[in-house]
Structure 1
Amino acid sequence: MTNKLLTTASRCIAAIALAGAAGPVWAEETVKIAGFTWPGYGFWHIAAEKGLAPDLDIQYQTIEDPYESFNLVAAGQLDVVSSTAEFTPVGVERGLPVKLVAFGNLSNGTDKVVAGPGVETAADLAGKEVAVLEGGLAQIYVAMWLEQNGAAYDSVVYRNIIADDAFAAMIGGGVAASEFWEPYGSNTLKALEGSSILTQSDEPFWLKNAVVADGHYMSNELINNRRDVALKTMQAMYDAIAWWKENPAEGNGIIAKGMGMSVSDVELVLGKDGTSLDGGLYVYDFIEAAQFCGAAPGNPPFEQTNGQMSDHWNLVSEWWVKFGLIQEVKAPETGVECSLHKELYDSGYRG
């Protein structure tokens, strides 16, 4: 019996020594993230694959309907949603426990309004059907363009058709025009003889006003009750962007695999050289996003201004009032949370 006890004790001591030599084992915090199939959200895949946040278990799932994602946040089943940046006022109106915490990227040519044969001006679209994601950024984009060009925003019939279905509707003549992101816009222009671009997101007006953009949203529970995890999650995303800038070819491959897209389609959107200027999407790094939030000194790119997040909130809110999705324009702080950027910046983090 004594020998057995000694043997057991020796084994326990050896096990403890080995565990100590290997270092402490920390439990990973799970972060559940969702977004639709889009290269601009692919940096989550880089963060996970490259282990840029070793104490986080980053779980990204593709959900094509952003409204489903936000409902899952409300149900406590998601922590983060990457989506277009216009949703927050609608979410606030519906009482969803979510905040826009970062401007993720800006469309720099990847979005365009494509018209079918015979349509050259806003007036030509009067009474005709235009495919958009109703209640989404595409609808605001088209409506603003119509008003800029002397037509009422409601002079067209908006049809809730997107992506492949909008492509098919354009080819079949079911709609007169459509808002597209890549690769659907380029594919339509190639396939439909006589089609043309009415407006494209790399025009200075759209860039300066940051009209067509993506954002990252976090649940109130993550922001308020798991603050350290929220900060680590945000840092992981910006570390992934910094890594991609240094390794664009490998990074695009990781994003393509994670999103189930071809590398060529990812390159069409993000570019090949890591500058964010040779594709159709400009990716904000940490400092630029913090400046847009007003959480770091200096101005963001494209003649944008420090703290423009509030102006963007007001812009989209005013349009949702026009479209009847919300009743009134509320204060930006009801739906925007820039304190995470501020806390990271004040800690010395620079991305």
Structure 2
Amino acid sequence: MPIGSTYLSGRKMLAMSTALFAALALPATAAEKVRISGLTWPGFGFWHIAEVKGLAPDLELDYQPIEDPYESFNLIAADQMDVVSSTAEFTPVGVERGLPIKLVAFGNLSYGTDKIVAAPGIETAADLAGKEVAVLEGGLAQIFMAMWLEQNGQPFDSVTYRNIIADDAFAAMIGGSVAASEFWEPYGSNTVKVLKGATVVAQSREPIWLKQGVVADGHYMSEKFITERRDVALLTMRALYDAIAWWKENPAEGNQLISDGMRMSLEDVEMVLGKDGTWLDGGLYVYDFMEAAQFCGSAPGDPPFDQVNGQITEHWDLVSEWWVKFGLIEEMRPAETGIECGLHKELYDSGYRG
């Protein structure tokens, strides 16, 4: 081989070795890890879509199913969690307990997936007086039941609330130990199918519940995450809404991804979210970016179901009032102590529309 060729080959090898060494020596830009927890629930499955479809390339979204919301919020307090997806009524309780959390988004609205089922022989709210009812105490189920009682002329404390949920509440209804229960799907429909004479006396698709936004989920972030990693918090919120927008265009594939990610049956996911991408053929109405921003008062226009712009403050006051009645909190506090709508505002002002 000619000397010149040998020299050039050596130069090429040296250059390649130098480039390889440099690549190994310089750290690659790592994706920002975001720790998220929530229930095993289709309404929170959009985190899986964002991850699987690569909608947040700068983030490493780590969703952990945790069935006890209090455990999730305690993890935030211990700086071991950044985001919690849960029901939307907890914030006043968390604020009073000193937890460093903020409700940053109204996530979805129960559109029939929540029901109050009465045992055979119970036809009116008055029939429940002095009897036991199954609810998730300290949760939206308890407020839903209490409000229904009062709307139908019965004091909210005329019943005994028992902290029984899901499968256990189903068994309690079948066994006759409770006279009514607040269920989410599929437990409500299954109870009516199995327990002859059981009836649905209230369900969350009724206009009164939709307008007030009573039975809903929300998304929470730790105060540290919002303040110290605000750019990541904004990317995280955007990833969620990008996933929701993607699902609306691809509901069949999206439901399968949620089924796989949540390890739920596809049938149950479709029962909750529907199949046609409208949210109106299932039991849950998921808010897109603009609707959530409007509910927060961070974008012009009104949310759906005759709700009003900035209604998140009214929702805060509503649940706070009930938690005072039930003794979970001592006093009502201003909404800004537990709500952070600034992330929606920043995204909207930047031109993002979901």
Post-superposition, which runs of at least 4 consecutive aligned residues in structure 1 deviate over 4 A?
5-8, 16-19
TM-superposed CA distance for 1:18, in Å, is 8.2
> 2:196 matched to which residue of 1?
193
Matched, 1:238 2:248: no
Distance 2:218 2:81 in 1: 16
TM-score, normalization by structure 1: 0.95
Matched, 1:31 2:34: yes
Matched, 1:262 2:265: yes
Mapping 1:130-209, distance limit 5 Å: 130-209=133-212
> 2:57 matched to which residue of 1?
54
> 1:116 matched to which residue of 2?
119
RMSD: 1.9
TM-superposed CA distance for 1:25, in Å, is 4.2
Count of residue pairs the alignment pairs up: 346
Could you tell me which amino acid in structure 2 is paired with residue 139 of structure 1?
Q
The answer to whether the 8 A contact 1:189-1:195 is kept is yes
> 1:72 matched to which residue of 2?
75
> 2:4 matched to which residue of 1?
none
> 2:320 matched to which residue of 1?
317
Distance 1:14 1:32 in 2: 35
2:105 pairs with 102, 106, 123, which one?
102
TM-superposed CA distance for 1:317, in Å, is 0.2
Mapping 1:245-284, distance limit 5 Å: 245-284=248-287
TM-superposed CA distance for 1:293, in Å, is 0.1
Distance 1:9 1:90 in 2: 64
TM-superposed CA distance for 1:11, in Å, is 3.0
1:292 pairs with 288, 291, 295, which one?
295
Q: Secondary structure at the match of 2:181?
A: strand
TM-superposed CA distance for 1:239, in Å, is 0.2
Q: Secondary structure at the match of 1:229?
A: helix
TM-superposed CA distance for 1:258, in Å, is 1.0
Post-superposition CA distance 1:204-224 (Å, at most 9, x none)? 100000000000000001100
Distance change in 2, residues 1:7/1:35 (3 Å): same
Mapping 1:331-346, distance limit 5 Å: 331-346=334-349
TM-superposed CA distance for 1:9, in Å, is 3.7
Worse-superposed segment, 6-15 or 91-100: 6-15
Distance 1:10 1:52 in 2: 36
Identity %: 74
Distance 1:137 1:185 in 2: 16
TM-superposed CA distance for 1:259, in Å, is 1.0
Could you tell me which amino acid in structure 2 is paired with residue 142 of structure 1?
M
Distance 1:81 1:316 in 2: 19
Pick the structure with greater CA Rg: 2
> 1:213 matched to which residue of 2?
216
TM-score, normalization by structure 2: 0.95
TM-superposed CA distance for 1:26, in Å, is 2.2
Post-superposition CA distance 1:247-296 (Å, at most 9, x none)? 00000001111111111100100000111111010010000000000000
Worse-superposed segment, 117-126 or 24-33: 24-33
Post-superposition CA distance 1:286-326 (Å, at most 9, x none)? 00000000000000000000000000000000000000000
Q: Secondary structure at the match of 1:154?
A: helix
TM-superposed CA distance for 1:162, in Å, is 0.6
Distance 1:335 1:297 in 2: 22
Could you tell me which amino acid in structure 2 is paired with residue 74 of structure 1?
A
Post-superposition CA distance 1:187-229 (Å, at most 9, x none)? 1110100100010001110000000000000000110000000
Distance 2:151 2:19 in 1: 75
The answer to whether the 8 A contact 1:26-1:55 is kept is no
2:15 pairs with 10, 17, 22, which one?
10
